[in-house]
C-alpha cells in the first residue's frame, strides 16, 4: 500500500500513515475550532505540537492552557483531551507511536528492561528545540519524496533525543492497584462484547460501589467510558486495515452505525470515513 495522501481541506482532520512505518501515525488539524474531544486515552504514546493559537489541554485530573510553541505528551493510558477556547482558532499536529517500538528504543538506550514502558514526567513543555524537532520530523514523514530509510532514521533520531532530553528514568511509577488493573484488563479483553457491571466486578473481585468510585479515580474515566474508549481503539485498528465502516461498527460492539459514528468522532474528532481515508 502506498503512503496515504493528505487531503487539502482545512477543516477536516488529515491523517498520514505508511505500511513501511507501521509504528507511527501522524495527524494534523488546521482549524481546531472544528473539532472537540471527549476525555479519552490511547494504547500508544502520543506527542503533539500546538502550531498556532491556544487551547485547553486536559491531562488526567489537571487542565492547562497551551499555546503555539507548546509540545504535549501523553503516556499510554493517560486520559486526556484538548479543545478550543472561546471559539479561538488554533492548530496542531500529532504523532501516535507504537508503545512496543518506543519501549524497545528505551531499552536500547539503557533503560531498565524490568518494565514495559518508562513513563514521561512532563505533560507539556514550551521547549523550542523539541517543538522544532517534532515539526521537522512530521515534515519528513509526510514527504512523498523521502524513502522509508530516511523516515525511519529521522524517527529514531527524534525519539532518541526525546528520551535523553526528558529522561523518564527517575519518574516515580504510578502506584499499582492490581484489582483495578484486573478490571481494566477484563474490559480490554472483552470490549467488543456486551458487558455487565457484575461481570467486571466478578473478574476483579470488587464491589460495584468501590469499582465505580476507584476506577474513575485511578483511570480518569468510568468503566463504561473506558469500555467505549477500548471499542474505539479496536475500531481504529480495523479501519486502518481497510475494513468497511458498517462491519467495524458491529464487530466493535456498537448497537448501530450511528452510535459508532458519534462515539468515534467524540474520541478522535474525526469521522470513521475521514480516518479510514
Rounded mean pLDDT, 100-109: 88
Predicted pLDDT at 142: 94
**45 or 165: which leads in pLDDT:** 45
Write the CA distances from 54 to 32, 45, 50, 83, 221, integer angstroms.
Answer: 9, 22, 7, 9, 25
Largest CA distance in the chain: 57
Predicted pLDDT at 8: 40
Rounded mean pLDDT, 140-147: 92
Q: How many CB atoms lie within 10 A of CB 258?
A: 10
Q: Pinpoint the residues of the chain covered by CATH 2.60.120.10.
A: 14-170
Quote the CA–CA distance of 84 and 90 in Å, as a whole number: 7
- Domain at 178-276, CATH from 1.10.10.60, 3.20.20.150, 1.10.8.60, 3.40.50.300: 1.10.10.60
Query: Of the given ranges (61-70, 150-159, 169-178, 266-275), which has the lowest mean pLDDT?
Result: 169-178
Predicted pLDDT at 204: 93
Confidence bin at 174 (pLDDT 50/70/90) = low
Predicted pLDDT at 114: 67
Task: State the DSSP code for 40.
Answer: B
**61 or 231: which leads in pLDDT:** 231
Q: Does the structure show a pLDDT above 50 at 4?
A: no
Rounded mean pLDDT, 92-107: 92
| Contact of 199 with 183, CB cutoff 8 Å | no
Predicted pLDDT at 10: 55
**192 or 87: which leads in pLDDT:** 192
For the ranges 23-37, 155-169, 174-188, 237-251, the maximum mean pLDDT occurs at 237-251
Tens of pLDDT, residue by residue over 203-254, are 999 888 888 888 988 888 889 999 999 999 999 999 998 999 999 999 999 9
Left (φ > 0), alpha (ψ -120 to 50) or beta: where does 170 sit? alpha
Predicted pLDDT at 83: 80
Residues 6+ apart with CB under 8 A from 137: 95, 154, 155, 158
Q: Pinpoint the residues of the chain covered by CATH 1.10.10.60.
A: 178-276
Predicted pLDDT at 236: 94
Q: Does the structure show a pLDDT above 90 at 166?
A: no
For 179-215, give one letter per residue: b (16+ CB within 10 A) or e. Answer: bbeebbebbeebbbeebeeeebbebbebeeeebbebb
Rounded mean pLDDT, 65-84: 90
Rounded mean pLDDT, 189-213: 90
Query: Of the given ranges (29-38, 82-91, 97-106, 138-147), which has the lowest mean pLDDT?
Result: 29-38
152 three-class SS = helix
Q: Does the structure show a pLDDT above 70 at 1?
A: no
- CATH class given for the domain over 14-170: mainly beta
Amino acid at each position: 500500500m502506498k503512503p496515504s495522501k493528505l487531503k487539502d481541506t482545512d477543516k477536516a482532520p488529515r491523517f498520514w500513515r505508511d505500511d513501511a512505518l507501521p509504528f507511527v501515525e501522524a495527524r494534523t488539524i488546521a482549524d481546531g475550532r472544528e473539532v472537540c474531544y471527549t476525555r479519552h486515552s490511547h494504547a500508544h504514546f502520543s506527542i503533539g505540537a500546538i502550531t498556532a493559537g491556544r487551547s485547553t489541554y486536559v491531562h488526567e485530573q489537571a487542565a492547562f492552557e497551551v499555546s503555539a510553541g507548546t509540545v504535549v505528551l501523553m503516556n499510554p493510558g493517560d486520559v486526556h483531551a484538548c479543545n478550543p477556547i472561546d471559539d479561538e482558532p488554533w492548530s496542531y499536529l500529532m504523532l501516535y507511536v507504537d508503545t512496543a517500538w518506543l519501549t524497545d528504543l528505551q531499552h536500547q538506550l539503557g533503560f531498565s528492561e524490568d518494565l514495559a514502558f518508562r513513563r514521561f514526567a512532563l505533560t507539556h513543555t514550551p521547549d523550542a528545540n523539541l517543538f522544532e524537532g517534532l515539526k521537522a520530523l512530521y515534515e519528513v514523514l509526510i514527504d512523498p519524496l523521502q524513502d522509508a530509510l530516511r523516515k525511519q532514521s529521522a524517527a529514531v533520531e527524534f525519539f532518541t533525543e526525546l528520551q535523553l532530553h526528558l529522561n523518564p528514568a527517575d519518574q516515580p511509577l504510578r502506584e499499582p492497584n492490581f484489582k483495578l488493573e484486573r478490571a481494566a484488563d477484563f474490559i480490554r479483553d472483552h470490549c467488543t462484547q456486551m458487558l455487565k457491571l457484575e461481570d467486571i466486578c466478578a473478574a476483579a473481585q470488587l464491589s460495584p460501589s468501590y469499582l465505580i468510585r476507584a476506577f474513575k479515580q485511578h483511570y480518569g474515566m468510568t468503566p463504561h467510558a473506558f469500555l467505549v474508549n477500548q471499542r474505539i481503539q479496536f475500531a481504529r485498528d480495523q479501519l486502518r486495515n481497510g475494513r468497511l465502516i458498517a462491519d467495524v461498527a458491529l464487530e466493535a460492539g456498537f448497537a448501530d452505525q450511528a452510535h459508532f459514528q458519534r462515539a468515534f468522532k467524540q474520541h478522535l474528532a474525526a469521522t470513521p470515513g475521514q480516518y479510514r481515508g
